[in-house]
Amino acid sequence: MSDAAVFAAVFIALYIAHSVGDHWVQTSHQAAHKGENDRTPGQSSRDGRIACSLHVLGLTITKGIALATVVLVLDLPVTAAGMAAGLGIDAATHWWADRRSTLAWLAKVTDKTEFYNLGTSAHPSHPATAEGKPAAHIGTGAYALDQSFHHLFLGVAALLIAAI
C-alpha cells in the first residue's frame, strides 16, 4: 500500500473522529470553560486548563479508537511511533488553540481579528434583528479559524502517521 493511500485513509479517520470528538464527545461544561483564564471574571487559568485538558483527552481517545479501527480493518502499515507522534502533535496543538486567547493572538498577528470577531457583538457588522437584538447565526469567525487550525494539524498528524 502506498504512503499516499495510508495518508488518505488516516486523514479521513482523523477528520471524522475530530468532528465527533469536538462536537459530540466534548461536554457543554468543557466547551464553556476551556478558554477561561485569570482574566475571566470568577474563574482561573486552572479551571480552564482542566476543562481543556479533559476535552482534549476525550477527543484524542475518540481519534485513537477511530484510527485503530481503520488501521486494523484496512491492515494499514503504520507504526506505534507514528501513531503516537501524530496523535501527540494533534493533541498538543488542539489544546493550544482551544485555550482561546492563543488563537485570538494568532488571529491578531495574522491580521485576522475582524474575521475572528465575525458573528459576535465585537464585530462592527454583528448580526442583529430589525429590533436591534442579537440574531441567530450558524457560526463565528473564531469557530471557522479554530476548525481550520485543527484541520491543518490533522493533516500534519496524518502525514506523520503515514511516514514514520
Q: What tens-digit pLDDT sequence spans the chain (164 residues)?
A: 899 999 999 999 999 999 999 999 999 999 999 998 877 666 678 899 999 999 999 999 999 999 999 999 999 999 999 999 999 999 999 999 999 889 999 999 999 998 888 877 666 666 666 676 766 666 788 999 999 999 999 999 999 999 99
10 burial (CB, 10 Å; 0-12 / 13-18 / 19+) is buried
pLDDT for residue 121: 67
| Contact partners, residue 73, CB within 8 Å, separation at least 6 | none
